[in-house]
Amino acid sequence: MKNLLDLTKDELRKEMESIGMKSFKGNQVFKWIYSGINTIDDMKNISNSHKDMIKNNYELKRISLVKKYEDAKDGTKKYLFSLQDNNIIETVLMKYKYGYTLCISSQAGCRMGCEFCASTIDGLERNLTVGEMTDQIMSIEQLEGVRISNIVVMGSGEPLDNFDNTVKFIKIANDPDGLNKGQRHLSISTCGLVPEIYKLADLSLQINLSVSLHAPNDDLRRQLMPIAKKYSLSELMKACRYYYEKTNRKITFEYAMISRVNDTAECARMLAGLLKDMENVMVNLIPMNEIDERDYKKSADSSVEQFSSILSKENISHTIRRKLGTEIEAACGQLRRGHKNP
């Protein structure tokens, strides 16, 4: 049976018609789903006969909390959720001065193979459904009693490798009767799937795009990120320029700083040269979060400062990301399909 959580409002209208109900019932069902109900019987303004028709054709499956961790240093919280097939995904809640940001997963695992990332170590199990993506947000808001201000699809998985479900997720997240989150408060991260960046640009959405760059030249990027063997930096930058032209939205380039690998002064100058002619971009410098399975080490503070100083002199807008959740392996690059007992 189809899971009601996997359907957009328009799809629900058609589905309700297909089982002999008026299409407007789809609107009612959609509103009830995103009010956070747990069963079809919780839909109060729908008759029992209509509930029975819905139950005979659909189900309402929600993810379930397995475990919750909290970083004592900064209050970041990580949640392990179990899916219906017993896969485990991870979701991270971060508190800032302006409100709460939630980092959600888009896949169970990841097949992109980035050398320094834990999410890809066990490979890709499967794409998450739309409902499994939206339910991470609903579940956290219910569990914590908070309103999520910003959503970043930067957890386990490559969102653009799950393109259709990610786009449907954006639609439901933005719907006033759905999660009711403004598109400008949604961020999608990609390691650089060039054709999908073009497809996303052509939708003219107002979301934020983050591109995992991590190297200023093709040779080094190919060492760190297998996707770079398929798409060159030239191709990636061309796609990013197209995205900006179509959406007028700033692009953030993520740059994980790895000691003695990509954190040299030469790398900083090469990165500045790569981006100097691009409009409205931001570089996010991320001191790499170390994982047990790899020998890579985070850059020294002095290297980060030197790198930042060079970018400043070259007028490249950038920030140094505040490290959150490292004590509970909830930081960037530390999420994984399985989980380890602390």
Q: What pLDDT is recorded for position 333?
A: 45
Which tens digit of pLDDT belongs to each residue from 190-202?
Answer: 999 999 999 999 9
Catalytic residue of the set 110, 117, 267, 332: 332
- Catalytic (active site) residue 17: no
The Cα 63–Cα 115 span in angstroms is 30
Does the pLDDT value for residue 342 go beyond 50?
no
pLDDT of 226 over the 90 cut: yes
Taking the model in full, what pTM does it have? 0.93
* Domains by residue range for the chain, with CATH: 2-59 (1.10.150.530), 64-328 (3.20.20.70)
Cβ count near 139 (within 10 Å) = 18
Q: What is the pLDDT at residue 74?
A: 86
Reply yes or no on whether the pLDDT at 141 is more than 90.
Answer: yes
Give the pLDDT confidence score for residue 64 in this predicted structure.
97
11, 59, 90, 266: which is the annotated catalytic residue? Answer: 90
Contact between 88 and 338 (Cβ < 8 Å): yes
Average pLDDT over residues 103-131: 92
Are 206 and 248 in contact, with CB atoms under 8 Å apart? no
pLDDT confidence band for 118 (50 / 70 / 90): confident
Rounded mean pLDDT, 76-88: 95
- Taking the C-alpha atoms of residue 64 and residue 86, their distance in angstroms, rounded to an integer, is 10
Instruction: Give the pLDDT of residue 80.
Output: 95
Average pLDDT of the chain is 92
The packing angle between helices 9-18 and 24-33, to 10°, is: 130
pLDDT, residue 341, reads 41
Dist CA 141 CA 267 (whole Å): 41
Report the DSSP pairing between strands 251-257 and 208-212. parallel
> For this structure, is 110 an active site residue?
no
Buried b (16+ CB within 10 A) or exposed e, 178-204: bbebeeebbbbbbbbbbebbeebbeee
